[in-house]
Amino acid sequence: MKNKFPNNFLWGASTSAYQVEGGWNQDGKGPSIQDVRTNIPEGTTDFKIASDHYNKWQEDVTLMAEMGLKSYRFSISWSRIMPLGYGEINKEGLKFYKNLIKELKKYNIEPIITMYHFDLPYGLEKLGGWLNPDIVQYFEKYAETLYTHFGEYVKYWLTINEQNVMILFGEIVGIDLSKSENKTKDLYKINHHMMLAQAKAIIKCHKIVKNGLIGPAPNINPVYANSNDPIDQIAAFNMRHFRNWFYLDTCVFGEYNKNVINYLIKNNAMFQITDEEQKILKEGKPDFIAFNYYASSTAKFTLEEDFESIADQQKIKSLKGLYHQVKNDNLPKTQFGWEIDPLGFRIVLRELWDRYNLPLMITENGIGGYDTLENGVVNDQYRIDYYQLHLAELKKAILLDGVNVIGYNPWSAIDLVSTHEGVKKRYGFIFVDRDEFDLKSLKRYPKKSFFWYKKLIAENGENL
Ligand code: BG6
């Protein structure tokens, strides 16, 4: 298709604080749950130094500008702003992000801020973390602090990254319920607190940030039925609700999805909702929906329990009598075993637009793989192929299907540490010279995909 993407389309890239910054205890930052995490798999690095972006941010922004990025989606480390998560504010933390935002603006790169990306301040974890209802007010205060200090420069805000991932496979992204007596009940209580925190942050944003726009950022997959047996269609329907719509329906419509609620009641895991809370959920309406897309899911009906331990974001635990996730033999896989499904991207864009009719922003999409630096060059053709296929589908969704998409921020701008598979699983357009435990030079090298993306942005996707 020779047509271009819409004018002012936000061609960007993404990162998150704990995966890219390092500087875990520099300049007054308090520890986060990611800094004290004990379940890092053997042979995999921790997050203490990551890509050292905290000390190399200026160089990194220069490279982003050279790539021609129109937006940069990054998260703020809560414990860099408030070392304990509440109370005292760390001026050095504010300064770091203000400098970063100003530098981005200097190059006309639109900052897109995620307020929370898996890194709860350890000070709050000690008070019970997301299970403690007080977290709602702490999050609101944190959000208010961000709006007050950065609202003047930042238009796009994201509340919580992949809330659904934290509820569905929380172990790897900071939800530890190993000591819980009713795990399901506690999980959905946590979810309720996140929903309220999000709604309150949305309400505050609309009050404080002039022209500010705010939305959630879940991880959304289209869900296919494994066969044309109607019972598998029901399973797919169930999985869509448990995996996707439960989170977005509450955010957009202010109502909990009945399918999930009925399951919780039946399983003695229902949480309390007061009238006041119901009102807050109704009031905190988002302006757009951001979402992360990596793959699709396939569901079949099952009466068996799936006892397999949780794999990761792309493999969720079965619910007996509701759904069981199976692999899709029609799809190729990444080097790390995630299914690759560009058409699924178009499907999910259409589904989201049909269901919610709100502008969409892609806040993650990308492929993790092994990259090597040879004579200063990183040939990541497989990444270009992946993007090429996905962007062709995005273009069709916008230009043929009429979906309103305002931006595309793939994962990731620069190599960083994966949630549970270390530095070796690389995602960036920019290579960072370090290994799992050998920090090497930490020098930056644009990969082949960097130059490909630069050209694509300059042409506004005309040649896709
Ligand atoms: C998303 C997260 O789930 O997927 C990111 O928002 C994460 O934080 C990305 O890095 C890729 O997943 P992984 O597990 O390969 O790092």
Provide the annotated active-site residues: 162, 364
For the chain, which domains are there? 10-221+340-345+359-458 (3.20.20.80)
Q: How many CB atoms lie within 10 A of CB 336?
A: 15
Q: What is the pLDDT of residue 306?
A: 61
Residue with the nearest Cα to atom 14 of ligand 1? 419
| Residue 88 CA: distances (Å) to CA of 54, 151, 311 | 21, 20, 38
Whether 16 lines ligand 1, by a CB cut-off of 6 Å, is yes
Angle value at C-alpha 250, between 221 and 246, nearest 5 degrees: 35
User: Per-residue pLDDT tens for 155-182?
Assistant: 999 999 999 999 988 777 778 888 888 8
Rounded Cα distance, 194 and 246, in Å: 13
User: Per-residue pLDDT tens for 223-244?
Assistant: 999 999 999 999 999 999 999 9
Tokens of 342: 């560009």
Rounded Cα distance, 199 and 211, in Å: 18
Q: What b/e string do you get for 122-138 counting C-beta neighbours within 10 Å, with b at 16 or more? A: bbbbeeebbbbeebbeb
Q: How many CB atoms lie within 10 A of CB 195?
A: 27
Q: What b/e string do you get for 29-68 counting C-beta neighbours within 10 Å, with b at 16 or more? A: bbbbbbbebeeeeeebbbbebbbbbbebbeebbebbbebe
Mean pLDDT estimate for the chain: 95
Q: How many CB atoms lie within 10 A of CB 450?
A: 24
Measured from the Cα of 162, ligand 1's closest atom is: 6
Whether 453 lines ligand 1, by a CB cut-off of 6 Å, is no
Distance 283 CA to ligand 1 centre (A): 30
Looking at 32-83, list the stretches that DSSP marks H as alpha helix, in order from N- to C-terminal side: 53-67, 78-81
Least confident range of 176-190, 280-294, 313-327, 418-432: 313-327
Q: What is the pLDDT of residue 309?
A: 47
3-state secondary structure 153-217: CCCEEEEEECHHHHHHCHHHHCCCCCCCCCHHHHHHHHHHHHHHHHHHHHHHHHHHCCCCEEEEE
Band the pLDDT of 2: cuts 50, 70, 90: low
Band the pLDDT of 367: cuts 50, 70, 90: very high
Tokens of 2: 């020779």
Task: Say whether pLDDT at 39 is over 90.
Answer: no
Q: Which residues contact 276 (CB under 8 A, 6 or more apart)?
A: none
Whether 424 lines ligand 1, by a CB cut-off of 6 Å, is no
Q: What are phi and psi of 112, to 5 degrees?
A: -120, 115
Q: Which residues contact 39 (CB under 8 A, 6 or more apart)?
A: 171, 172
User: Per-residue pLDDT tens for 260-318?
Assistant: 999 999 999 999 999 999 999 999 999 999 999 999 999 999 887 665 545 666 777 78
Measured from the Cα of 420, ligand 1's closest atom is: 14
User: Per-residue pLDDT tens for 86-131?
Assistant: 999 999 999 999 999 999 999 999 999 999 999 999 999 999 999 9
**Residues 56-78: what's their mean pLDDT?**
98
Q: Are 365 and 408 in contact (CB under 8 A)?
A: yes
